[in-house]
A and B are shown apart, each in its own frame.
Chain A
Amino acid sequence: MLKRVFAMVVLLAWFIPAWAQAEVKYVQVNQTRLLERATAFSKAKAVLPYRTAVDVLGQQGAYYLVKAGKAKGYVAQRSLTVKKPAYSTSGSGSREYVSSDEVAMATKGFNQQVEAEYRRGNPDLAYAELDRLEKATACPDPGKTYKAFRKAGCLGEFQKGGGAQ
């Protein structure tokens, strides 16, 4: 009897803390899509900006099931990080309160300022061309933008036999 009680309590002691504390992760890309299903071909329910905190509720393939505010959905695992990312000096992320310490830390990385300094010393590099290219090829929601392209080519969610769902 004693042994059984002991085993039960040990099991509870092991599992309850993990269950009670949903792991918090942060968005480490400029923006991530909160998806209806665990595939990037799925429809987005919302867009979460850089540094948004989410509660990780589960895992499916390369995606986490997360809760962000009141909404639940899937986010690519590689778009999240355990440690809250530094405040971005290039204007990425939500407009939340940012301490002066955080701003100070953010200015100490390889960032826009360092690029600007490097650019001054290397005027022959094709930054202007890159800026044009980056602007012309930016695609905030490729799932939606290229849906007709995938359909016409039997790709992604439209491939015969199902494929990646």
Chain B
Amino acid sequence: MNRILLWVVLAAWAGMASGCATLGSAIKIGGQMTGYQDLADMGTSMEKANREFNEEEKYYIGRTVAATLLSEDHWLNREGLNAYVNAVGQTLVLASERPELFRGYHFAVLDAAGKVNAYACPGGFLFITTGLLKLCRNEDELAAVLAHEIAHIIREHPVQAIQASHQRSAVASLVKFGIAKAGESSSEIKELSGLFDAVVKDVVKAVAHGYSRDKEQEADLMAVDILGQAGYPPLALAGVLGRMDQKSCYHGDPKVRAAAVTSAAGEKSYGAQPLKARDQRFAREAGK
């Protein structure tokens, strides 16, 4: 009796272990067993059709989004300011849940005094305009603005802005060209370039004009956490939001957002306090 029971359990164990195969693999195995190669290919294409853009693709989408923004407002290429903004940004990134991207994070100031804005492009290109930099009173507030943009990247908000129809077309073409393992064809590259254009335009629109209130709030709350983890006072975000007017804040009343940030920061006990040394280097590097 005991032996029978042992055999039953061992058989169940073997079944569980083999049942770990993915659906795609299962279809492939089925194909090999029955000789239906089409079935195996169908498994591969199903697997690919469900895929999202990979990290390298997001990087290339982000590069073109960034190049589009830079063609309107140019990079303020001042060595000291570059190094400073990147030091603040990279400190925040290290404290975040996503410290690495495909080619890392890049922070830059855009020469646009008339615009109070900041942008987060996929692939880790983050920009702040001189208009918004001027609104920041100290390093803690600059960090708050950058933390909010980093949060958009971590939550993949720019990529989520790609219209479902464009995403479907792009992925379908990638699958089609991926399955046909022929040599590179210039017509394929041209078609992909057309789809790339639609995808990039969706992202540029979202990055330049802001996201839904829910996504902005999500980024605010994540920024509070990033600031706290990095050692910056999270209330700095409420400070800078409190001085923004409705016109420069595309989604959500900045005063309401500031109140939500104050409430969220109060719920967690971050020990970070303002520091004179940070204020001094901000004054030195950001020209205040």
Interface residues of A (CB under 8 A from B): 2, 5-6, 9-10, 13-14, 16-17, 28-33, 40-41, 62, 76-79, 81, 85-86, 88, 90, 92, 101, 104-105, 107-115, 117-118, 121, 124-127, 129-130, 132-134, 136-140, 142-143, 145-146, 149-150, 152-156, 158-161, 163-164
| A137 CB, min distance to chain B CBs, angstroms | 4
What are 12 A-B residue pairs whose CB atoms fall within 8 Å in the complex?
A13-B13, A28-B54, A28-B102, A29-B55, A31-B100, A40-B99, A62-B98, A76-B98, A130-B63, A132-B77, A133-B70, A134-B103
Top 9 A-B pairs ranked by shortest CB distance?
Answer: A159-B231, A126-B70, A142-B90, A13-B13, A40-B99, A155-B231, A40-B94, A161-B271, A108-B177
| A165 CB, min distance to chain B CBs, angstroms | 10
Give chain A residues whose Cβ lies under 8 Å from the Cβ of B108.
133, 137
A163 and B75 CA atoms in complex are apart in Å by 34
A116 and B233 CA atoms in complex are apart in Å by 43
Residues A125 and B277 in contact in the complex (CB < 8 Å), given A113-B184, A146-B87, A156-B231: no
Give chain B residues whose Cβ lies under 8 Å from the Cβ of A31.
100
Contact between A129 and B57, CB atoms less than 8 A apart = no
Give chain A residues whose Cβ lies under 8 Å from the Cβ of B77.
132-133, 136
Count of B interface residues, CB-CB < 8 Å: 78
Q: CB-defined interface of B254-288 with A at 8 Å, one 1/0 digit per residue?
A: 00000000000000000111010110010000000
A145 and B104 CA atoms in complex are apart in Å by 14
A40 and B272 CA atoms in complex are apart in Å by 19
Looking across the interface, which residue of chain B has its beta carbon closest to that of A87?
A: B56
Within 8 Å by CB of A30, from B12, B67, B102, lies B102
Contact between A78 and B60, CB atoms less than 8 A apart = no
Give chain B residues whose Cβ lies under 8 Å from the Cβ of A146.
87, 90-91
Looking across the interface, which residue of chain A has its beta carbon closest to that of B61?
A: A110
Give chain A residues whose Cβ lies under 8 Å from the Cβ of B273.
160
